[in-house]
Amino acid sequence: WGSCNVLAIALGNTVYLWDAADGNTSELVTLDDDVGPVTSVKWAPDGRHISVGLNNSEVQLWDSTSNKLLRTLRGCHQSRVGSMDWNNHILTTGGMDGRIVNNDVRIRSHIVETYSGHHQEVCGLKWSASGQQLASGGNDNLLHIWDRSMASVNSPTQWLHRLEDHTAAVKALAWCPFQGNLLASGGGGGDKCIKFWNTHTGACLNSVDTGSQVCALLWNQNERELLSSHGFTQNQLTLWKYPSMVKMAELTGHTSRVLFMAQSPDGCTVATAAGDETLRFWNVFGSPEVAAKATRKAIPEPFANVNRIR
């Protein structure tokens, strides 16, 4: 969900754009079978440019206002690009090959740094708000914290912290909006835990067993709350009070694991995308007055034209 209030959705070989202001859906691109399917999408901070990660190891950069392909980044990865995050003009990509690459999209030789530490697919990547620290999670159950000040151009950069506490894949990552060095991470089906880290020291501050696979995490921008999305068995969303980690709400409706969550620019609405091929919208982070009432339920059918997007 980009800063210009447009939601990007990848389904198969196609990327769709849904304008939350007017409810219109448009198609950005449909790719050929030899490069697709689309394995990741990420808006640049400007809300206009969007990166599209592909199954064939390439990344395309698109201008969403003119529907133009601006450039294709090649040579970063050996196989699919499953995770991406932007840090100003740096696009960081994570691959099934375990590599993490910083790409400066302004220059021809776009690969400016590589981070080596994962030996399986990189499934989570998140830059801190300051742009100084990068968190990466892998299918190898590892969580790494990388620091920009330690970056090396000529050789793979050494991690700041290598955190081995999770016992399943680490896909869910979220930096705290009110405490710059606080990171939340979530483990997969063999782990089921949300862990909190001081990324300066590498200390684990707390670990909470959620009872199910943790697929994604989002902090409330306005209150001290954390939203987690889950898989087997309930495919639910859980809203937690921080730091007590008291459960405030459980939201059900998806019939398959809730793989992704995205927050609207105003921070109030959360879009969820699940393996059941549906998108759902929740005003779980409404203004404090609204949130106090029992309005934590799905917004009715914002996708009137959902058939076009299936």
Q: Which 3-state string (H, E, C) describes 216-271? A: EEEECCCCCEEEEEECCCCCCEEEEECCCCCEEEEECCCCCCEEEEEECCCCCCEE
What percentage of the chain reaches a pLDDT higher than 90?
Answer: 89
Q: How far apart are CA 48 and CA 57, in angstroms?
A: 23
Count CB neighbours of 253 within 10 A.
16
pLDDT at residue 239 in the model? 98
Which H or E run contains 85?
strand 81-87
> Quick one: which of 14, 35, 36, 40 has its CA closest to 25?
14
DSSP structure class, residue 157: B
pLDDT at residue 157 in the model? 82
For residues 67-71, average pLDDT: 98
pLDDT at residue 238 in the model? 98
Does position 296 have pLDDT exceeding 90, yes or no?
Answer: no
Tell me the residue type at 136: S
Model pLDDT for residues 219-241, shown as the tens digit of each residue: 999 999 999 999 999 999 999 99
Q: How far apart are CA 114 and CA 109, in angstroms?
A: 13
* 295 vs 137, residue with greater confidence: 137
The pLDDT-based confidence of 290 (bands split at 50, 70, 90) is low
Extract the tokens encoding 165: 């506490």
